[in-house]
């Protein structure tokens, strides 16, 4: 695996850990799910943008 692929795998692992730890650990004291849903919404936007960045160059490899 190249260095760039390892970094993206690390980012995916960090995002997965945050996906569980923040809503069920840190935001737990809020008393409602609004904090967790706000976090999940923000994390989803970040992950979708990250996925777009990763896949943006997939079609360009053979065209250079």
Say what the alpha-carbon torsion angle 44, 1, 58, 14 is, to the nearest 10 degrees.
10
- What local confidence, expressed as pLDDT, does residue 28 receive? 73
Report, as an integer, the average pLDDT of 22-44: 82
Average pLDDT across the chain, whole number: 84
Answer whether 8's CB lies under 8 Å from 54's CB. Answer: yes
Other beta carbons less than 10 A from residue 54's beta carbon: 14
pTM for this model (two decimals): 0.72
Where do the domains of the chain lie? Answer: 3-55
- 33 has a pLDDT exceeding 90: no
Answer whether 1's CB lies under 8 Å from 18's CB. Answer: no
């Amino acid at each position: 695996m190249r260095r760039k692929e390892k970094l993206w795998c690390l980012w995916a692992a960090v995002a997965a850990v945050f996906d569980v730890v923040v809503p069920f650990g840190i935001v737990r004291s809020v008393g409602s799910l609004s904090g967790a849903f706000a976090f999940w919404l923000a994390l989803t936007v970040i992950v979708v943008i990250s996925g777009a960045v990763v896949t943006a160059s997939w079609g360009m490899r053979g065209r250079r």
